[in-house]
Amino acid sequence: MERDPAHVTATPDPEETRRRLTSEVAEVESAIALVASGAASRITLSGLKFGEEVAKRFRADAQSKGVRLDPLPFPDDAGCDLIVRRTDE
């Protein structure tokens, strides 16, 4: 019996996961800095795999800088978009 390649579950690559998480952390930190500086009032980061977890990690730091992090989760826990905006917006 042949297996359907569309139904094969790939084993997560720890190195790729690390690179992706590192990249998303840097994107969120940069967006917070940009909004906090006043150069932008709002930024949307799209297609983040770890966005909700990263937002939880940086929420207090962002709030201390007058920035709010609002995740918009995808169905089936497949990631999210993340809105980074000033708290007075």
Whether the predicted pLDDT of 83 surpasses 80 = yes
Give tens-digit pLDDT for 20-39: 999 999 999 999 999 999 99
The amino acid occupying position 45 is L
The pTM assigned to this predicted structure is: 0.83
Residues 6+ apart with CB under 8 A from 86: 35, 41, 42, 66, 67, 68
Residues 6+ apart with CB under 8 A from 47: 79, 81
Give tens-digit pLDDT for 37-62: 999 999 999 999 999 999 999 999 99
The torsion of the CA quartet 14, 17, 23, 24, rounded to 10 degrees, works out to: -150
pLDDT of amino acid 11: 78
Whether the predicted pLDDT of 1 surpasses 60 = no
Residues 6+ apart with CB under 8 A from 70: 55, 82, 83, 85
